[in-house]
């Protein structure tokens, strides 16, 4: 579904990604793990077109995405939940969800998806008239994911969904991530610093160090890899 080939991305003169290559197959959960500053978020921003690569190619469903604007990438079905959530704090929960469906015009489908996300996160339905900025961190993460789902993603990009959340909320969020994948077949590219949790829900994984991909394998084998266990799992 998604392929990156020799992608290099810069911030000014600083090279953040160094000729990385990876692929995501339809129906998979792929995770990208690594330390802070390794280039994980930059990888997602490059895919989304927010920080365009300087060289290399990105293709989605066989179509070139390199140089395509972020809004057009969203129209193709690639939707990102950014690190830090970035909901619209002054808008209500309902209005945030409406923004997620901004590029759609199928009213019946939008209404059905609204009930679907309210079913995933019932607390959002209870708070639908409440300003997004007054929600707890966990509720804002639920809202950010739901807003993305309202866009009907073919590929959902998740950037650090567990960041700053209580363990019980993290567990709930990851259960929903698995449900979205298994029940709806949504393909997911997950960037997550909690490598243990990420590898437990993913099918395959990539390890990133200082802007390069250093290892790739099934999630099960990465969980058992001694180097990965020492570096990222605290073993």
pLDDT of residue 85: 87
Which H/E stretch holds residue 151? none
Regarding beta strands 55-60 and 2-11, do their DSSP bridges make them parallel or antiparallel, or are they unpaired? antiparallel
- For 23, 60, 147, 213, 220, the CA distances from 152, given in Å and listed in that order, are 21, 16, 10, 30, 29
CB 119 within 8 A of CB 79: no
CA distance 227 to 151: 38
Question: How many Cα atoms occupy the beta-carbon half-sphere of 13 within 13 Å?
Answer: 0
Alpha helix (H) ranges present in the chain?
Answer: 40-48, 70-75, 93-100, 107-120, 122-126, 137-149, 167-184, 195-201, 219-224, 226-232
Residue-by-residue pLDDT tens, the chain, 235 positions: 999 999 999 999 999 999 999 999 999 999 999 998 999 999 999 999 999 999 999 999 999 998 899 999 999 999 999 998 899 999 999 999 999 999 999 999 999 999 999 999 999 999 999 999 999 999 999 999 999 999 999 999 999 999 888 899 999 999 999 999 998 899 999 999 889 999 999 999 999 999 999 999 999 999 999 999 998 887 6
Instruction: Say how far apart CA 230 and CA 217 lie, in whole Å.
Output: 17
Distance (Å, whole) CA 195 – CA 156: 18
CATH 3.90.190.20 matches 1-77+154-235: no
State the pLDDT at residue 158: 97
Please state the separation of Cα 8 from the chain's center in Å. 20
Domain ranges of the chain: 1-77+154-235, 86-152
Rounded Cα distance, 70 and 51, in Å: 9
Provide the pLDDT for residue 178: 95
pTM of the model as a whole: 0.94
**What are the b/e assignments for 186-221, b being 16+ CB within 10 Å?**
bbbbbbbbbbebbbebbbbbbbbeebebeebbebee
Determine the pLDDT at residue 76.
96
- Count other Cβ atoms within 10 Å, centred on residue 31: 27
Give me the pLDDT at residue 233, please. 85
Q: What is residue 52's predicted lDDT score, i.e. its pLDDT? A: 94
Site of tokens 């059905």 = 112
Q: Are strands 187-191 and 155-159 parallel, antiparallel or unpaired?
A: parallel
Q: What angle do CA 61, 215, 68 make, to 5 degrees?
A: 30
Rounded to 5 degrees, what are φ and ψ at 57?
A: -130, 145
How confident is the model at residue 223, as a pLDDT?
95
């Amino acid at each position: 579904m998604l392929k990156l080939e020799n992608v290099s991305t810069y911030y000014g003169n600083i090279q953040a990604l160094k000729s990385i290559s990876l692929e995501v197959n339809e129906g998979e959960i792929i995770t990208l793990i690594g330390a802070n500053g390794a280039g994980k978020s930059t990888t997602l921003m490059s895919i989304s077109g927010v920080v365009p690569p300087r060289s290399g190619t990105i293709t989605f469903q066989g179509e070139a995405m390199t140089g395509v604007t972020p809004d057009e990438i969203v129209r193709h079905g690639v939707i990102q939940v950014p690190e830090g959530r970035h909901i619209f704090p002054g808008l209500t929960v309902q209005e945030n969800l409406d923004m997620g469906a901004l590029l759609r015009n199928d009213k019946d489908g939008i209404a059905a998806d609204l009930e679907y996300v309210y079913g995933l996160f019932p607390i959002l339905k209870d708070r639908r008239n409440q300003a997004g900025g007054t929600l707890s961190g966990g509720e804002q993460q639920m809202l950010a994911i739901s807003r993305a789902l309202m866009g009907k993603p073919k590929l959902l990009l998740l950037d650090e969904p567990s960041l700053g959340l209580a363990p019980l909320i993290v567990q709930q969020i990851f259960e929903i991530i698995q449900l979205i994948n298994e029940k709806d077949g949504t393909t997911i590219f997950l960037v997550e610093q909690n490598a243990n949790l990420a590898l437990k829900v993913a099918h395959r994984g990539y390890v990133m160090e200082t802007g390069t991909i250093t290892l790739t394998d099934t999630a099960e084998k990465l969980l058992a890899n001694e180097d990965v266990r020492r570096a990222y799992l605290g073993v």
